[in-house]
Amino acid sequence: MAKIIMSPSKYIQGNGELKKLYAHTANLGTTFLVLATEGGMKRIKHIVEESFKDQSKKLVFEIFNKECSKEEINRLIEICKSNGCDAVIGIGGGKLLDTAKAVSYYEKMPVVIVPTIASTDAPCSALSVLYTPEGVFDQYLVLPKNPEMVLMDTDIIAKAPARLLVAGMGDALATYFEARACDISKATNMAGLLPAKSAYALAQLCYETLLEEGLKAKLALENKVVTPAVENIIEANTYLSGIGFESGGLAAAHAIHNGFTVLKECHHLYHGEKVAFGTLVQLVMENCSMEEIEEVIQFCKSIELPITLGQMGVKEVKPKEIMEVAKASCAEGETIYNMPFEVTAESVYAAILTADAIGKRYL
Residues annotated in a binding site for NAD(+): 94-98, 116-119, 125, 127, 131
Q: Which residues are annotated as a binding site for glycerol?
A: 121, 171, 254, 271
Note whether 73 and 102 are within 8 A (CB). Answer: yes
Active site residue 254: yes
> Which range of residues in 23-31, 52-60, 167-175, 337-345 is near Zn ion by CB under 5 A?
167-175
User: What whole-number distance in Å separates Cα of residue 337 and Cα of residue 118?
Assistant: 28
**Of 153, 183, 271, 356, catalytic:** 271
- Tell me, rounded to whole angstroms, the distance of Cα 21 from its chain centroid: 23
> Which range of residues in 10-18, 164-172, 288-296, 304-312 is near Zn ion by CB under 5 A?
164-172
**CB neighbourhood size of 82 (10 A):** 9
User: What whole-number distance in Å separates Cα of residue 192 and Cα of residue 201?
Assistant: 19
148 belongs to the binding site for Zn ion (CB under 5 A): no
Q: To the nearest whole angstrom, how small is the minimum distance from the Cβ of residue 78 to Zn ion?
A: 32
Q: Which residue is nearest to Zn ion (CB)?
A: 171
Q: Which amino acid is at 359?
A: G
Q: To the nearest whole angstrom, how small is the minimum distance from the Cβ of residue 177 to Zn ion?
A: 12
Note whether 217 and 266 are within 8 A (CB). Answer: no
**Of 24, 153, 183, 257, catalytic:** 257
Q: To the nearest whole angstrom, how small is the minimum distance from the Cβ of residue 186 to Zn ion?
A: 22
Active site residue 257: yes
**Type and span of the H or E element at 232:** helix 228-235
Q: To the nearest whole angstrom, how small is the minimum distance from the Cβ of residue 152 to Zn ion?
A: 17
Return left, alpha or beta for 36; rule: phi > 0 is left, psi -120 to 50 is alpha, else beta: beta
**Of 24, 153, 171, 356, catalytic:** 171
> Which range of residues in 98-106, 124-132, 170-178, 203-211 is near Zn ion by CB under 5 A?
170-178
Q: SS3 for 35? A: strand
Active site residue 171: yes
> Which range of residues in 34-42, 48-56, 169-177, 337-345 is near Zn ion by CB under 5 A?
169-177
Active site residue 267: no
Length in residues, the chain: 363
> Which range of residues in 55-63, 151-159, 165-173, 342-350 is near Zn ion by CB under 5 A?
165-173
Q: To the nearest whole angstrom, how small is the minimum distance from the Cβ of residue 3 to Zn ion?
A: 22
Nearer CB in complex with Zn ion: 153/171: 171
**Of 254, 267, 268, 356, catalytic:** 254
Nearer CB in complex with Zn ion: 25/335: 335
Question: Applying CB under 5 A, which of residues 17, 72, 148, 171 lies at the interface with Zn ion?
Answer: 171
Q: To the nearest whole angstrom, how small is the minimum distance from the Cβ of residue 237 to Zn ion?
A: 10
Size of the site for Zn ion (CB under 5 A): 1
CA dist list (Å): 239 to 100, 112, 177, 236: 18, 15, 17, 6
- Tell me, rounded to whole angstroms, the distance of Cα 306 from its chain centroid: 18
At residue 139's C-alpha, the angle toward residues 4 and 271, to 5°, is 75
Nearer CB in complex with Zn ion: 171/334: 171
Q: To the nearest whole angstrom, how small is the minimum distance from the Cβ of residue 245 to Zn ion?
A: 6
Nearer CB in complex with Zn ion: 171/356: 171
**CA-based torsion, 225, 231, 237, 239: positive or negative:** positive
Note whether 100 and 109 are within 8 A (CB). Answer: no
Candidates 27, 24, 222; CA nearest to 114 is 24
98 belongs to the binding site for Zn ion (CB under 5 A): no
Note whether 195 and 156 are within 8 A (CB). Answer: no
Residue 100: partners with Cβ closer than 8 Å, 6 or more residues away: 35, 88, 89, 90, 111, 113
For Zn ion, the binding residues (CB under 5 A) are: 171
> Which residues are known catalytic residues?
171, 254, 257, 271
